[in-house]
Structure 1
Amino acid sequence: MRLIIAEKPSLARAIADALPGSPRKQEGAIVVGDTTVTWCLGHLLEQAPPDAYDPAHKQWRLDTLPILPEHWKLTPRPKARGQLAAIRKLLKAANEVVHAGDPDREGQLLVQEVIEYLGWKGRVSRLLVSDLNRPAVQRALSRLEDNRRYQPLYRAAESRSRADWLYGINLTRAWTLTGRQAGHDGVLSVGRVQTPVLGLVVRRDAEIRGFTPRPFFVLWADLAVSRGELRAWWSPGEHHPLDDQGRLLAREPAASLAERLPGAEGRLVTLETQQKRQPAPLPYSLSALQVDAARRHGISAKVVLDTCQSLYERHQLITYPRSDCRYLPEEHFAAARGTLEGACREDDTLRGWLDGADFTRRSRAWNDSKVGAHHALAPTGRPADMARLTTTEANVFRLIARNVIAQFYPPLSTRDVKAEFSILGETFRARGQEILDPGWKPLFTTRDEAPPLPPLSEGEGGRVQNSDVEDRETRPPEPFNDASLIKAMMNIGRYVDDPAVRRTLREHDGLGTEATRAGIIETLVERGYLVREGKALRATRLGSALIASLPEAVSRPERTALWEQRLGAIAEEDAAPAPFLESLVADLRTLLAAADAGRLRQALHSAEGAEAKAPRRTSGRRSSGRSARSGKRRTPQRRKESR
């Protein structure tokens, strides 16, 4: 009997439906001919708790840290015992096993750890399914690989799991016990990803709170030129008081010049014209979709992930959603027209977009060299019955379909114009953009980025019709929201000061993974470290105090991003896991030595004071500075050790 072990019941059903023969259900499995398909329920196993290694570890004590297992143990999750028993029984009757976990690091881990835990010693094949439609699953079944090819991926996932346990268990116990000494009765959870994400928000809030607005002044002049009118902006010279962004800090020079401008004659001294062709945005990865869905529809990252899972598993309208890739396999290009016509035929909006598509166009999205274990999110071709979808499901599906349809539209073609005028010996600049071919852009927005300038010729004159000085004020940056925090997690190198580390992160950029980023935000909210104020995410008093009490390296992104680099080397280059874990243990000993009740007590006091003083505001237009209030305290009551 051939036994296929899928990651989830939905995938098991899709595999069974793609096999020749009539499916027959039995407890915990589906039988089709001589093949039995069973499933996990996500992770059936988890890292054993500390007291599984030594009963003395059941009591939390500082003098037992760090806890360092010599031989790692897994234990069944409480609700998974029944399914684990079913797989154990099926394995005894199997002569061939197929690993059908999702095509990513965690998918490799959660099925393989079950196979090894239950003692299977025979050959294992690997089935990679990224699309639950029957033809796609049938193609995948015809391309089984040897699971040994994916051992580096498994070792990387196993190393990640063990490292998370070491880091979270030891630091959470240390700071929770220190917190009790400082008067805080509750768990202080520390994790390798969640804590640096919290650090991003805490630092942003502190910048906003500490921001002092500064006035600056801009001067514009409306010019009549030979074939129309335009507005130009004064560019003051360095002899005037300017900030580091070239903004004028004193009103008098602008006001004095403004008085002399009406009726003044100017001349166009420099004219730069550049034609640009911008290709369509690529199809979505999960994180890119979460950013756009939050901006366009106000959908939280967690809801986007859950919606994508529903579109993938329940409705089978999209391909595997937890993807970090924005490219599509080249073999999908030939079938793209049929796939999109099938997917879009039930929706007026999608059909309208499809009518403008030219399927002879081949965009940069079709690139096998850019596709790894999975490809960009795309429609499967199954017709989308919008009446059966929720509003959120329909909105997310349209975004996914739109970005694939856009690959068959022309590039956005523009003519960008920069004009520099000399008026009364001063420099005034204007810029505009003329859209030559809108290409894909109407699928995304009808708004022009910059209005066009009238036709201009270098050397022509212009007469000032009107002018004015605008009094402006610098503003703090906006607080993080779901979209901006996901984007920050994707591009974490921007928040790293060390140029050498930033260079290293270019190819290994990111906090968390496509599958975990939304959950990290929700975990921080649930544990009382972040609070939502409208769309804004703010750090609470407790979250701010935790970051202040930790060594800076724990709350900075460098450490966890470099972890991902080491894990990537294990997965992609078959590097040994031992040096990575040994380095982590050495770091842990240093970090544990920094736990200090006095520092935490002061951090809690300081955070309370900052919360009391901070103004209540949930948004602000972005400018040069930084501000925000800490949120309300919510203390976790359950003893929960963190990853």
Structure 2
Amino acid sequence: MRLIIAEKPSLARAIADALPGGVRREDGALHAGDSVVTWCLGHLLEQAPPDAYDPVYKQWRLDHLPILPSRWQLIPRPKARGQLATIRKLLKQAREVVHAGDPDREGQLLVQEVIEHLGWKGPVARLLISDLNRPAVQRALARLEDNARYQPLYRAAESRARADWLYGINLTRAWTLTGRQAGHDGVLSVGRVQTPVLGLVVRRDAEIRDFRPYPFYVLWADLAVANGQLRAWWQPAENHRLDDQGRLLERAPAEALAARLPGAEGRLTALETRQKRQAAPLPYSLSALQVDAARRFGLSAQAVLDICQRLYERHKLITYPRSDCRYLPEEHLAQAHATLSSACGQDETLREWFAGADFTLRSKAWDDRKVGAHHALAPTGKPAELERLERAEADVFRLIARNVLAQFYPPLIAREVKAEFTILDERFRASGQELLQPGWKPLFTTREEAPPLPAMREGEPCRVEACSVEDRETRPPEPFTDASLIKAMMNIARYVDDPEVKRTLREHDGLGTEATRAGIIETLIERGYLVRQNKTLRATRLGSGLIASLPEAASRPERTALWEQRLAGIAERNDDPAPFLTALIEDLRQLLGSADAGRLRQAMATAQGEAASVAKRRAASGKGRRGRSAPSRARRRPKRSA
């Protein structure tokens, strides 16, 4: 008997349906011919608690820390014992075993740890499925691989699980016990990934809270040129009082120039024109999809993940969703026309996009060198009856299909123009863009482009028709949203100060994984560290106090992102996991040594005071101020005539 162990029941059903012969269910398994398909229910096993290693650890005490298992143990999850017993019985009858976990790090771990825990000593084949439709599953069954090839992926996942246990158990106990000494009654949870993510939000909130706006002034002039009119902006010289972004900090010079401008004549002294060619955005990874769906539809990262799981498992409309890849296998290109024709045929919008596609084109998205265990999200080819889906499911499916269809559209081609005028010995600049070929752009927006600058030639005269000085004010950074926090987790190098670390992280940056990022945000909310305010994510007093009480290294992304690099090295280059865990334990000892009740008490008091101060300011102003973006964005005051 061949035993196939799937990650979850939905995958087991898809595999059984693709096998020859009828399918019958019996005792937690599906029988099809000479094969039996059984399943896990997510993780059937979990890391043993500290008291499994020594009963003395049942009591939380600082002098027990750090707790460092010498021989790691796994125990069954409470609700998994029955299914684990089923798999044990089937293994005893099996002549061969097939590992059918999801094609990612966690999928490799959760099936393989069961096989090893139950003592199977024979060979194991690996079945990789990213599309649950029957033809795709049958193709995958015909291409079984040796599971030994995926041992590095398993070791990386195992190392991640042990690292999370060491970090979470020891630091959570240390800060909870220290919190009790400081008067805080409750668990203070510290995690290898969740705490740096919380740190990002806390620091952003502090930037917003501490931001002090200041005014600046801009002067524009409407210029008549030979072929029309345009608006240009004054570029004040350095002898004026400017901020570090070149913005004018006093109104008088702008007013003085504005008084002289009406009717003044000048010349176009510099003209730069260049043609820009832009390829379509790549197909989606999960995180990239979460960012776009949050911006376009206001969906949380967890909602997008849940929708994708339903589109994959229940509706079988998309390929495996928990992917960090934005490229597609080259073999899929030949079937793309048939796949997309079938997938898009029952929706008016998708039919229109499909009709405009040119399947003789080939984009850079088709690249086997950039496809790992899984590829970008894509339609499976099953006809999509979107009217039978929930609205959010249909919206997300259209996004996924659109980004694949866009690979068969020509590039966007535009002409960018930058013009500099000299008027009254002062410089004025204008810029514009002319769309020469829209290419893929209409699939992404229906917004009309701003009119291009009129045709001009260097040296031609201009005349000021109107002008005005505008009062503006700097604005604080935007609060994080699901979209911007996911994007920050994807591109964590932007939030790192150390130039050496920043350079290293650009190649393999990222906090968390595609499969865990949404869950990290939800966990922080459930534990009371973050709260959603409309679409924004803000730190609570508890979250801010926890970050302030921790050593900075524990709440910043550098260490965790570098750990993810080490895990990638184990998975991709077969690096030895031992140095990774040894370095982690050394870090852990240093962090434990910095737990301090006085610092934590002060941090909580400061956070409470800051929260009260913000509430008082909001009450005084009548409403909370809503930030827009980085300080370079500005709020306009009412115009004053020049």
Query: TM-score range, shorter-chain basis?
Result: over 0.9
Residues 373 and 618 (structure 1 numbering): CA distance in 2 closer, same or farther, change over 3 Å? farther
Amino acid of the residue matched to residue 295 of structure 2? R
Match of 2:151 in 1: 151
Q: 1:619 aligns with which of 622, 626, 633?
A: 626
Q: 1:74 corresponds to which letter in structure 2? A: L
Q: CA deviation at 1:507?
A: 1.4
> What is the aligned partner in structure 1 of residue 43 from structure 2?
43
Query: Residues 12-34 of structure 1, C-alpha deviation per residue, up to 9 Å, x if partnerless?
Result: 11111111111111111111100
Contact 1:302 / 1:519 at 8 angstroms: preserved in 2?
yes
Q: Distance in 2 between matches of 1:418 and 1:518?
A: 42
Name the structure 2 match of 1:559. Answer: 559
* Partner Cα separation in structure 2 for residue 451 and residue 574 of structure 1: 55
1:82 partner amino acid: G
TM-superposed CA distance for 1:625, in Å, is: 7.3
8 Å CA contact 1:208–1:625 kept in 2: the answer is no
Matches within 5 A, 1:178-193: 178-193=178-193
Matches within 5 A, 1:345-494: 345-448=345-448, 450-494=450-494
Question: What amino acid is the match of 1:376?
Answer: A
| DSSP-derived class of the 1:395 partner | helix
Whole-Å Cα distance in 2 between the matches of residues 523 and 81 of structure 1?
Answer: 26
Cross-structure match for 2:531: 531
The residue identity in structure 1 corresponding to 2:271 is L
Q: What is the match of residue 641 of structure 1?
A: none
Aligned-pair identity (%):
78
Cα 1:449–1:240 shift into 2, 3 Å: farther
Aligned AA (1:131): D
Shift in alpha-carbon separation, 1:378–1:247, aligned structure 2, 3 A: same
Give the 3-state SS of the residue equivalent to 1:478 in structure 2. coil
Answer yes or no: is the 8 Å Cα contact 2:202–2:543 preserved in 1: yes
- SS in structure 1 of the partner of residue 480 of structure 2: coil
Q: Partner of 1:168: helix, strand, or coil?
A: helix
- Contact 2:265–2:423 under 8 Å retained in 1: yes
Listed one character per residue, the Cα deviations across residues 541-582 of structure 1 (whole Å, up to 9, x for unaligned) are 000000000000000000100110111111111111111111
Distance in 2, Cα, partners of 1:577 & 1:621: 44
* Aligned twin of 1:197: 197
Corresponding residue for 2:313?
313
Q: What is the distance in 1 between the residues matched to 2:528 and 2:632?
A: 27
Q: Which runs of 5+ in 1 are unaligned?
A: 627-643
- For residues 288-326 of structure 1, the C-alpha deviation after alignment (integer angstroms, 9 at most, x for no partner) is 000000000000000000000000000000000000000
Give, as a single letter, the amino acid of the residue that structure 1 aligns with 2:630.
S
- CA gap 1:449/1:537 in 2 versus in 1, 3 angstroms: farther
- Equivalent-residue separation in structure 2 for 1:436 and 1:262 (angstroms): 34
2:465, 2:298 → 1: CA distance? 43
Distance 2:134 2:456 in 1: 59
Check conservation: 1:479, 1:618, Cα contact below 8 A: no
Q: Cα offset for 1:623?
A: 3.3
Deviation at residue 385 of structure 1 after TM alignment = 1.0
Q: Does the 8 A contact of 1:535 with 1:618 survive in 2? A: no
The question of 1:11 aligning with 2:7 is answered no
Q: Are the counterparts in 2 of residues 536 and 618 from structure 1 also a CA contact under 8 Å?
A: no
Match of 1:46, SS state, is strand
Please give the alpha-carbon distance, in whole angstroms, between the structure 2 residues aligned to 1:574 and 1:611: 48
Q: Secondary structure at the match of 1:621?
A: coil
1:586 aligned counterpart, secondary structure = helix
CA–CA distance in structure 2, aligned partners of residues 313 and 469 of structure 1: 58
- Give the match for residue 638 of structure 2: none
Cα distance in 2 between the residues matched to 1:33 and 1:72: 38
Give the TM-score, by structure 1 length: 0.96
| Amino acid paired to 2:117 | Y
Q: Give the aligned residue type for 1:621.
A: R
Question: Is the contact made by 2:16 and 2:23 (CA closer than 8 Å) also made in structure 1?
Answer: yes
SS across alignment from 2:377: coil
Could you tell me which amino acid in structure 1 is paired with residue 84 of structure 2? Answer: L
Code of the residue aligned with 1:465 in structure 2: it is: E
Q: Which moved more, 1:614-623 or 1:595-604?
A: 614-623
- Corresponding residue number in structure 2 for 1:604: 604
Q: Distance in 2 between matches of 1:578 and 1:367?
A: 34
1:525 aligns to what SS in structure 2?
Answer: helix
Query: How far off is 1:366 after superposition?
Result: 0.6
Partners of 1:172 and 1:190 within 8 A in 2 = yes
Distance 1:410 1:133 in 2: 31
| Alpha-carbon distance between aligned partners in 1 of 2:629 and 2:298, rounded to the nearest angstrom | 19
Quick one: distance in 2 between partners of 1:306 and 1:564?
A: 24
Query: Whose relative contact order is higher, 1 or 2, with alpha carbons under 8 Å and at least 6 apart?
Result: 1
Superposed displacement of residue 620, structure 1 = 2.0
Deviation larger for 132-141 or 166-175: 132-141
Could you tell me which amino acid in structure 1 is paired with residue 155 of structure 2? R
Cα deviation, residue 622, structure 1: 1.4
Normalising by the residue count of structure 2, what TM-score does the alignment of the two structures yield? 0.97
Find the residue that maps to 1:338 and give its secondary structure. helix
Q: In 1, Cα distance between the equivalents of 2:607 and 2:628?
A: 25
Instruction: State how far apart, in whole Å, the 2-side matches of 1:95 and 1:157 are.
Output: 27
Q: Which amino acid is 1:113 matched to?
A: E
In structure 1, what is the Cα distance between the partners aligned to 2:486 and 2:63? Answer: 38
Q: Residue 253 of structure 1: CA displacement?
A: 0.7
Deviations 1:144-176 (A, max 9, x none): 111111111111110110010000000000000
C-alpha deviation, 1:446, in angstroms: 2.2
Alignment of 1:560-639 (within 5 A): 560-614=560-614, 615-616=617-618, 617=624, 619-624=626-631
CA contact (8 A) 2:217 2:471 kept: yes
Does the 8 Å CA contact 1:268/1:460 hold for their aligned counterparts? yes
* Conserved? CA contact 1:533–1:618, under 8 Å: no
Match of 2:90 in 1: 90
Partner deviation per Cα, 1:243-301 (whole Å, 9 max, x = no partner): 11110111111110000000000111111111111000000000000000000000000
Is the deviation greater in 447-456 or in 59-68?
447-456
Range moving further from structure 2, 440-449 or 511-520: 440-449
Q: 1:292: which partner in 2?
A: 292
Checking the alignment, whether the CA contact within 8 Å between 2:416 and 2:432 is kept in structure 1 is yes
Q: 2 CA distance for matches of 1:228 and 1:580? A: 65
Aligned equivalents of 2:301, 2:213: Cα separation in 1 = 32
Q: What is the alpha-carbon root mean square deviation over aligned residues?
A: 1.0
Structure 1 CA distance for aligned equivalents of residues 445 and 200 of structure 2:
31
Q: Conserved in 1, the CA contact under 8 Å of 2:4 and 2:100? A: yes
Distance in 2 between residues matched to 1:229 and 1:621, nearest whole Å: 31
Amino acid paired to 1:517: R
Matched ranges for 1:232-381 at <5 A: 232-381=232-381
C-alpha deviation, 1:619, in angstroms: 3.3
Q: SS at the partner of 1:219?
A: strand
CA contact (8 A) 1:536 1:619 kept: no
Contact persistence 1:24–1:30 (CA under 8 A): yes
| Residues matched between the structures, number | 626
Which amino acid is the alignment partner of residue 332 of structure 2?
H
CA contact (8 A) 2:208 2:627 kept: no
User: 2:598 is matched by which residue type in structure 1?
Assistant: G
